[in-house]
Structure 1
Amino acid sequence: MRVSDFDFELPEERIALRPARPRDAARLLHIAGNGVFADRGVSDLPDLLRDGDLMVFNDTRVIPAALNGVRPARSVGGGGPVDVEVNLHKRLDASGWRAFVRPAKRLRVGDVIAFSEDLSAEVTGKSEGGDTRLVFNRTGAALDEAIAATGVPPLPPYIARKREVDEQDVEDYQTLFAKQDGSVAAPTAGLHFTERLLTALAERGVQQTHVTLHVGAGT
């Protein structure tokens, strides 16, 4: 088998930069028990499920894990100020995070990145691929509050390359079930559900329950 066997063309104009409106208008591929494929919509779910079926929803909440900061000019060793993009992806302890950082090559261990007047982080370690360890100047709940005040929703890279984050993204990248802070990317399947769809599912006799699975870089 060759990797090239999986190549296909995806026209730029077919890549959505915003979600479907309403959310449950998104398309759904249905594969029947006999293997027949059918193009359906998410709003068709009540017709595809049965009384007594159970749906499990993820109640994780996306944190504003994308931060923009500046590494000030170095007083020793040269180098002017550098704009830095940080995407947090794994919490290490009360004040530490692992993050994907750009441009990672312009940072050294010991550099401090300033995100706001009240929030900064020191680079304490670097790995390949821009994976960087940061220790913030705040800890625990105070750090969570500072990130919430300073960060923005972490858009998927293929979208972030094409447009800036805006206020609509704050709503678009949370599900109806979002309660538990911790994800650094949206649990995308859950984004397609609306109140009217949940009502229709309940009327069909479909039950629901919740789990918490924080979405990270490896999820």
Structure 2
Amino acid sequence: MILLTTMSLAACGHSSEKTPNKSESQKTAQSFRVSSNGSAIGRADYNRIETGNVTSPKNGTSKNVILTSFGKPNSKSRVTVNNSGKKAAIQYSWTNLKTSFKASALTVEFLNGHAIGKGYIEASIKNRRYISKNRLNNVQKGETYTQVVKTLGVPDAESLTGHGNVSARNVTYATGKNGRALSLMFAGDKLTSKMQTVVK
């Protein structure tokens, strides 16, 4: 069972994003159902999940759409959203992922019935790929998430909360078989820090 007790949101100010209208929500639900409909979850399904902000969670994909698409979660837990008056969100996790996803579990955090955070956890050690130090040195602070992915490929693990300028993203790239990895932090889609870490 995957159990996370806290989730961090770097900023939770008001967003200028518009709330999707009814027809847009219906289109989103349809695209999810066609893509997944309770079968193994792929990276494309993960990418379709929109995350809202704590102050405007309705901008995130609805819980009903995701549950209809992904099926019953493997676990459910309550998490605390930091820097937001300690609001309580509900985290669901799924492990029925496609092999091509190269992850062991997917998580989504919901507040008021809408997604405000999402992430996925590293695959087992034998299924990980490793990034060389030289390639890691090619990414610099201030680069966008898209620029980093273009250089290094998709991360081995990721956690995203919020949306747009008030989003916070943490991604991990494995660098060695002993669990060594590099953690990259993004605020508002800009790389702000790089830190060595260890993952199991």
**Which category of TM-score, normalised to the shorter sequence, fits these structures?**
under 0.3
Q: Which one has more relative contact order, counting CA pairs under 8 Å at least 6 apart? A: 1
Q: Please tell me whether Structure 1 or Structure 2 has the larger radius of gyration of its CA atoms.
A: 1
TM-score normalised by L of structure 2: 0.25
